[in-house]
């Protein structure tokens, strides 16, 4: 019944989509539907990422669960999910090659549901920590699988937009938890969050598998069916299937060990760019700004706590990420990253000045609280429009399909380990350097990130995945070569070889 309704809705709505965008044929709406469905896993990930904000005081101060939770214990409850996410990044790569992108993501419903059940029925801190660890396992897997899936199902003209759906749904999940958590207790909030993975599984079950996976496995009729679903019933999939087949045959014929593949220029450059983007994303100060937003909003409100502070921040994240999804395929990845990092540097400079003045003489900032609030809002908006979604999008674009299942997890592990490290050592940095010193450090890192993007990161807007590999390998694309069209099949075309 559900499958019939989805099919009818997709066929009916896709009639209104204009074909022949950027030289492409086929309908775009089915691809948006599949991309949004895949990003439902990101919604589930967003709920566990935002869960700690509304549950901190109820668990540590009010003792809502009936057992004591110290601040130190809660810091582990909040951060241990990052370790779970890092641990899962490599296994999910192998799972995607073994059972496909779709079934790998559906399998992650199990650790997510198990994690929420442990939290819902927790009788001690250990159960909370184990539950959070399992939530990290599921969420970390989605950070690798969902961008890979959306990059492979989308045509180049909309690949950027579909790629930003992941981060958009993460922010929606965070905002959802902030809003619901303000009105219910911890257990009810956890029950509601636990339902979301089940809803995702029920919807994504009816989505198609990546056509590239089917071609990789020699299941060409299923690849054709997948493309028909994604591009519309009237789409002639033969040319695209043939292109995927020849590309797959070529990389299989040139199969070499993984270590040799990682010595190739395109793969090494893609890895360096991906790790650099993840480094500057996590060390931009995002965790510190989120940590301090309640205190800053309270300062602007005459010292009174603002229950709406986190909801305001969450709302800004959603709106800015939605804007990014609209403009990423129009203005490009590089410009969003450059503007994002530069303005984040400006924001953290303002916060550093604010805390420096407050440290010297608190009376000096009595009339400047509005500036600190503005800096927080600007930082969150700029992070969400660029450095939040774009690095994950580019991880799905930069690696060749034959190394993606192995290389993408490296970027994911690096990101989650940095997130864990920053979360755990932030208090130590604050004690050693002071609030102002920490924000001066973050502003300097953001400025370095801007230089990194300007000098190292290529523009991938409108380019096919094969175009991107040629660009990373040092080839110059012809200016009159149509963006997103398959490259001529030339025996001299040196793509990265298949990992053995």
HSE at residue 247, side-chain half, CA atoms within 13 A, is: 24
Eight-state DSSP code of residue 184:
S
Q: What angle do CA 438, 443, 448 make, to 5 degrees?
A: 125
Does residue 75 sit within a domain? yes
> Among 40-54, 56-70, 300-314, whose mean pLDDT is lowest?
300-314
In a shared domain, residues 203 and 263: no
Work out the percent of the chain whose per-residue pLDDT is above 70: 85
pLDDT band of 125, cuts 50, 70, 90 = very high
- Given 207, 224, 242, the domain boundary residue is 207
Residue 494: its pLDDT value, please?
31
In a shared domain, residues 168 and 267: no
Distance from the first to the final alpha carbon of the chain: 42
In a shared domain, residues 395 and 458: yes
User: Distance between CA atoms of 102 and 207, rounded to whole angstroms?
Assistant: 8
pLDDT band of 132, cuts 50, 70, 90 = very high
pLDDT tens by residue, 249-259: 776 775 656 67
Tell which phi-psi region holds residue 316, choosing left (phi > 0), alpha (psi between -120 and 50) or beta.
alpha
Does residue 394 sit within a domain? yes
Does residue 213 sit within a domain? no
> Among 3-12, 237-246, 413-422, whose mean pLDDT is lowest?
3-12
Is pLDDT at 24 greater than 70 in this prediction? Answer: no
Most confident of 247-251, 341-345, 409-413: 341-345
Does residue 500 sit within a domain? no
Q: What is the mean pLDDT of residues 375-382?
A: 90
User: Distance between CA atoms of 145 and 409, rounded to whole angstroms?
Assistant: 9
Is pLDDT at 302 greater than 60 in this prediction? Answer: no
Q: What are phi and psi of 450, to 5 degrees?
A: -65, -45
Residue 320: its pLDDT value, please?
86
Is pLDDT at 412 greater than 60 in this prediction? Answer: yes
Q: What is the mean pLDDT of residues 275-279?
A: 94
In a shared domain, residues 200 and 343: no
Is pLDDT at 186 greater than 50 in this prediction? Answer: yes
Query: Are the C-beta atoms of 399 and 267 separated by less than 8 Å?
Result: yes
Is pLDDT at 274 greater than 70 in this prediction? Answer: yes
Please give the residue range of the domain that contains residue 434.
Answer: 258-475
Does residue 466 sit within a domain? yes
Is pLDDT at 472 greater than 90 in this prediction? Answer: no
Residue 114: its pLDDT value, please?
97
Classify residue 383 as exposed, middle or buried by CB count within 10 Å of its CB (0-12, 13-18, 19+).
Answer: buried
Quick one: which of 225, 199, 201, 194 has its CA closest to 211? 225
């Amino acid at each position: 019944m559900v499958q019939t309704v989805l099919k009818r809705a997709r066929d009916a709505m896709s009639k209104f989509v204009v074909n022949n965008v950027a030289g492409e044929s086929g309908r775009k709406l089915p691809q948006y539907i599949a991309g949004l469905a895949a990003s439902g896993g990101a919604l589930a990930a967003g709920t566990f990422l935002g869960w700690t904000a509304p549950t901190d005081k109820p668990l540590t101060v009010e003792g809502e669960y009936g057992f004591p939770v110290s601040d130190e214990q809660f810091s582990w409850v909040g951060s241990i999910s990052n370790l779970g996410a890092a641990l899962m990044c490599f296994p999910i790569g192998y799972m995607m090659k073994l059972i496909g992108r779709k079934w790998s993501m559906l399998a992650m419903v199990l650790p997510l549901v198990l994690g929420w059940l442990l939290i819902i029925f927790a009788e001690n801190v250990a159960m909370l920590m184990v539950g959070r660890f399992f939530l990290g396992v599921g969420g970390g897997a989605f950070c690798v699988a969902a961008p890979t899936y959306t990059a492979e199902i989308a045509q180049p003209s909309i690949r950027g937009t579909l790629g930003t759906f992941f981060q958009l749904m993460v922010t929606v999940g965070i905002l959802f938890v902030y809003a619901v958590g303000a009105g219910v207790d911890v257990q009810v909030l956890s029950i509601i969050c636990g339902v979301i993975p089940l809803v995702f599984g029920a919807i994504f079950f009816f989505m198609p598998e990546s056509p590239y996976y089917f071609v990789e496995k020699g299941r060409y009729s299923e690849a054709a069916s997948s493309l028909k679903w994604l591009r519309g019933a009237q789409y002639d999939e033969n040319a695209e299937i043939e292109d995927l087949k020849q590309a797959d045959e070529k990389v299989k014929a040139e199969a070499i060990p993984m270590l040799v593949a990682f010595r190739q220029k395109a793969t090494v450059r893609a890895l360096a760019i991906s790790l650099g983007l993840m480094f500057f994303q996590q060390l931009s100060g995002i965790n510190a700004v989120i940590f301090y937003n309640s205190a800053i909003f309270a300062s602007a409100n005459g010292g009174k706590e603002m229950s709406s502070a986190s909801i305001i921040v969450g709302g800004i994240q959603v709106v800015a990420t939605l804007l990014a999804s609209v403009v990423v395929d129009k203005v490009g990845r590089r410009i969003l990253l450059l503007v994002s990092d530069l303005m984040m540097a400006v924001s953290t400079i303002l916060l550093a000045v604010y805390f420096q003045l407050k440290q010297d003489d608190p009376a000096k900032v009595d009339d400047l609280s509005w500036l600190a609030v503005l800096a927080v809002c600007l930082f969150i908006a700029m992070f969400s429009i660029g450095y939040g979604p774009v690095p994950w999008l580019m991880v799905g674009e930069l690696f060749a399909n034959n190394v993606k299942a192995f290389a993408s997890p490296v970027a994911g592990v690096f990101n989650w380990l940095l997130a864990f490290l920053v979360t755990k050592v932030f208090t130590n940095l604050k004690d050693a350097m002071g609030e102002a010193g920490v924000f001066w450090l973050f502003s300097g890192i953001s400025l370095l990130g801007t230089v990194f993007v300007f000098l190292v990161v290529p523009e991938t807007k409108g380019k096919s995945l094969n175009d991107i590999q040629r660009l990373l390998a040092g080839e110059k694309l012809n200016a009159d070569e149509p963006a997103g069209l398959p490259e001529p099949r030339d025996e001299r075309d040196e793509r990265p070889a298949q990992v053995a």
